[in-house]
A and B are shown apart, each in its own frame.
Chain A
Amino acid sequence: MSELEQFRAETRAWLEANCPQSMRTPARGFEDIYNGGRKPEIDHPDQKVWCDRMAERGWTVPTWPKEYGGGGLSKEEAKVLAQEMARINARRPLDSFGISMLGPALLKFGTEAQKKEHLPPIVRGEIRWCQGYSEPNAGSDLASLATRADDKGDHYLINGQKIWTSYADKADWIFCLVRTDNSGSKHEGISFVLFDMDQPGVTVKPIKLISGSSPFCETFFDDAKALKANLVGEEGKGWTIAKYLLTHEREMISSFGTAPRQSLGQQAVDVIGADASGRLANGVLRQNIAQYQLDALVFGYTMARVGDEAKAGQGLGPASSIFKYYGTELNKRRNELNLAVQGEAALGWDGEVYDGGQLSRDWLRSKGNSIEGGTSEVQLNIIAKRVLGLPDA
């Protein structure tokens, strides 16, 4: 038996013994996945049990180095773990911005002390992080951010306001872009700092969205304190880290647009019916769905092609620049078509008959995809300038 097969056998046995039965059902959405933190939202007591058991082995973040609490698995081993989890329908034990965003940034830009201090609590789900980027007057033009950090010797005092801070009301710590210097161009003088949200100078107000949920907050800083030991990278050079994380975030959001398991066209036949030749009875809707399904199929192949080219050592091609723009626009099309196909059933807001208004709320939420993490218009500007080499206005 090869080492990898040995690993598979051991993993299978361990999962069988340790994954609680209640965690062997697919998560219905982000809400069903445990996010950890000092004030965790626990829907089922097994969530914590499952997270703790996995964290013990570092398998909440399987590929991070062992010295920082991770699983230290190779890519192949991590793939085996994922396959074995999928085999028994095991949910991911933990998901957080610490895992998906801050961790990769710290591994790349953090000091040894910062990695030792902050990564293990992320792996164990003890500290939940949020991201302080956008401000009321710095949305698409993020680099014009104005939240100020004044040098007070061993720490900074932070004053200003962030907005669209995802889950700030549930987070323990924040990784935040602040201005430490105003004298240069807007991209200079930005610093990347980490600080505790549980202090008198921090106030958080959730924002209610058109979908009825409140995943985002306004976050106010009034002499909030951040230790200098928690400055990541050099002072004034935070834009480099911000860009790295934005690229990372855009890749995550773009994956929302990949083709779904069940064909929308077939769903439409169930609801609306077909003519004698088997074609969807409404020809206009049929064409709209066919165009969507064609683009969704081809977008999926494009994501695969870019991945394969990178694996073959041909580098990350210019096609990667379209992911955020195209994926989010596709997801909006998909949601509009859901409404068109399901009709009345998609317009409910609440109650069991409408599954709690899932369809209409998803539809409304999808409108934010092409705004958050850089609007579609900003993405098109980036392609025009960086990929096509067209000049500034």
Chain B
Amino acid sequence: MALVLNEEQIMLKDSAAGFLAQKAAVAQLRALRDSGSKTTFDGDVWNEMVNMGWASIAIPEAYGGLGYGYTGLGLVLEQVGRHLSNSPLESAVLVGATLVNELASEAQKQQWLPAIAAGETRFSLALQEGAHHNPQQLATSARREGDGFVLSGSKVLVLDAPSAQQFLVVAQLEGTDGASVFAVPASADGLAIESRAMVDSRAAGALTLNQVAVGADALVGEAGAAGPALERTLDIANIGLSAELLGLSAEAFERTVAYLQERKQFGRIIGSFQGLQHRAAELFAELELARSIVLKALQAIDEGADNLPLLASAAKAKLCEVAQRASNEAVQMHGGIGMTDECDIGFFIKRARVAQHTFGDYNYHLDRFARLGGF
């Protein structure tokens, strides 16, 4: 497929940019943070996103979605990155809906996907257990009891944990080799949800599952067989986060270039100094590379490409590198003002690090990229 956006995609991108600039921009994020809201997103804005079809963008038409594919969702997420818009788009749409679609039985999909598409139910993935993303190491356990299952363990960095209605808990089921996923309602007995305030002013949370009993229908898909669907979901999630990091990096860069064009020191515009010009030009080149791999990886999802894992890790590793550089340079080139809370640049560097870490950072994905490349 040509590495170019079609007219329909350009329209979607423009309309997302217009909406978010007005309803969910950095000023709204600042206001939400200062209000001390536990959910950390605006429910009315989320409802408008749902009405525009954003919750159903990548859900197949057979289950009440738009069937528009992940390239479309990625374009929206890029704009989300530009405006630092807080919403459950990442937790419930990019990750939750994708895992249900990839893993669940036909009956479960019929039951859950239309509710997700309509914005009625939000599923959030509960995977990470330690300081780092490491899906191979799973301590959360499940055992059969009666018709159902009993789950025990603990999870961290569960996105939007305080407001999700269902958790997709990854656990090791007794008597099986591979991972299993269970849908656990937020109200389940024995489930403790601890809301944790993160540096990016978004809500994540830690879950403690203490002998949580669920029914037979809570098992998503087949027992012990979640591995491939989970891996594909994580690849898609990392590509979506890469799209968000692209928008974030481009916006931080453009704000920085604008500052270089107006700030004066030593009687000159500081953007006339070659020491800053070359750093800005190098960063521009890296951003153009970043844009290419994000589009390539998004298209690979929709095309069902065989090398999706390699492209996902390439995209995430590259975007982690570029976002880190762009956000660090943004603070440095803004000078003292860049260190103040009054300046918006601080919000970009904070969100960048959380998105970089989520589902594997630069070190994780560069290592995986090399491993998939045969070394």
Q: Which residue numbers of A lie inside 8 Å of B, CB to CB?
A: 263, 265-266, 268-269, 274, 278-280, 286-287, 289-291, 293-295, 297-299, 301-302, 304-305, 308-309, 311-312, 314, 318-319, 322, 325-326, 377, 379-381, 383-385, 387-393
Q: How far is the CA of A381 from the CA of B274 in the complex (A)?
A: 8
Which residue of A has the minimal Cβ distance to B290?
A298
| Given A266-B375, A322-B288: A392 touches B272 (CB 8 Å cut-off) | yes
Residues of chain B contacted by A274 (CB below 8 angstroms): 375
Residues of chain A contacted by B273 (CB below 8 angstroms): 393
List 27 A-B residue pairs with CB atoms under 8 Å apart, sorted by A's residue number. A278-B374, A279-B375, A280-B375, A290-B370, A290-B373, A293-B370, A297-B293, A297-B314, A298-B290, A302-B289, A308-B2, A318-B284, A319-B291, A322-B289, A325-B281, A380-B277, A380-B282, A384-B280, A384-B281, A387-B284, A388-B277, A389-B257, A390-B257, A390-B272, A390-B277, A392-B272, A393-B272
- B70 within 8 Å of A by Cβ? no
Q: How far is the CA of A268 from the CA of B374 in the complex (A)?
A: 10
Q: How far is the CA of A392 from the CA of B277 in the complex (A)?
A: 10
- B369 within 8 Å of A by Cβ? yes
Q: How far is the CA of A392 from the CA of B271 in the complex (A)?
A: 8
State the Cβ distance, B81 to closest chain A Cβ, in Å: 18
Tell me whether A302 and B292 are in contact (CB under 8 A): yes
B261-278 vs A, CB cutoff 8 Å, 1 = contact: the mask equals 100000011011110111
Interface centre among A311, A314, A384 (most CB of B within 10 A): A384
Interface centre among B281, B291, B367, B370 (most CB of A within 10 A): B281
Residues of chain B contacted by A295 (CB below 8 angstroms): 289, 318
- B169 within 8 Å of A by Cβ? no
Partner of A268, one of B285, B295, B367, B375: B375
Residues of chain B contacted by A389 (CB below 8 angstroms): 257, 261
State the Cβ distance, A300 to closest chain B Cβ, in Å: 9
- B161 within 8 Å of A by Cβ? no
Which residue of B has the minimal Cβ distance to A277?
B371
Residues of chain A contacted by B289 (CB below 8 angstroms): 295, 298-299, 301-302, 322, 326
Q: How far is the CA of A295 from the CA of B286 in the complex (A)?
A: 9
Q: How far is the CA of A383 from the CA of B271 in the complex (A)?
A: 13
- B4 within 8 Å of A by Cβ? yes
Residues of chain B contacted by A287 (CB below 8 angstroms): 366, 370
Tell me whether A304 and B3 are in contact (CB under 8 A): yes
Tell me whether B285 and A326 are in contact (CB under 8 A): yes
Tell me whether B281 and A383 are in contact (CB under 8 A): yes
| Given A298-B318, A301-B292, A384-B277: A286 touches B370 (CB 8 Å cut-off) | yes
State the Cβ distance, A279 to closest chain B Cβ, in Å: 7
Tell me whether A393 and B274 are in contact (CB under 8 A): yes
Q: How far is the CA of A274 from the CA of B290 in the complex (A)?
A: 30
Q: How far is the CA of A290 from the CA of B292 in the complex (A)?
A: 18
Q: How far is the CA of A319 from the CA of B250 in the complex (A)?
A: 14
Which residue of A has the minimal Cβ distance to B277?
A384
Q: A266-B373, A322-B288, A391-B272 are in contact. List 5 more A-B contacts (CB 8 A).
A: A301-B292, A305-B4, A326-B289, A388-B257, A388-B284
- B317 within 8 Å of A by Cβ? yes
Tell me whether B284 and A294 are in contact (CB under 8 A): no
Question: Interface residues of B, CB < 8 Å — how many?
Answer: 39
- B260 within 8 Å of A by Cβ? yes
- B296 within 8 Å of A by Cβ? yes
| Given A305-B291, A390-B271, A391-B272: A286 touches B314 (CB 8 Å cut-off) | no
Partner of B278, one of A278, A326, A384: A384
Q: How far is the CA of A290 from the CA of B374 in the complex (A)?
A: 11
Residues of chain A contacted by B291 (CB below 8 angstroms): 302, 305, 319
Chain B 233-280 interface residues, beta-carbon cutoff 8 Å to A: 257, 260-261, 268-269, 271-274, 276-278, 280
| Given A266-B375, A322-B284: A279 touches B257 (CB 8 Å cut-off) | no
Residues of chain A contacted by B292 (CB below 8 angstroms): 298, 301-302, 304-305, 319
Q: How far is the CA of A289 from the CA of B314 in the complex (A)?
A: 13
State the Cβ distance, B281 to closest chain A Cβ, in Å: 4
State the Cβ distance, A159 to closest chain B Cβ, in Å: 35
Tell me whether A294 and B374 are in contact (CB under 8 A): no
State the Cβ distance, A335 to closest chain B Cβ, in Å: 19
Partner of B4, one of A291, A309, A318: A309
Q: How far is the CA of A387 from the CA of B291 in the complex (A)?
A: 16
Residues of chain B contacted by A393 (CB below 8 angstroms): 268, 272-274
Which residue of A has the minimal Cβ distance to B253?
A388
Tell me whether B369 and A294 are in contact (CB under 8 A): yes
State the Cβ distance, A374 to closest chain B Cβ, in Å: 13
Q: How far is the CA of A391 from the CA of B267 in the complex (A)?
A: 13
**Ordered nearest first, which 10 A-B pairs have the shortest CB separation?**
A265-B375, A384-B277, A383-B281, A305-B3, A322-B285, A290-B370, A301-B292, A390-B271, A319-B288, A308-B2
| Given A311-B2, A390-B280: A266 touches B288 (CB 8 Å cut-off) | no
Tell me whether A280 and B370 are in contact (CB under 8 A): yes
Q: How far is the CA of A385 from the CA of B374 in the complex (A)?
A: 42
Residues of chain B contacted by A319 (CB below 8 angstroms): 288, 291-292
State the Cβ distance, A77 to closest chain B Cβ, in Å: 21
Which residue of A has the minimal Cβ distance to B288?
A319
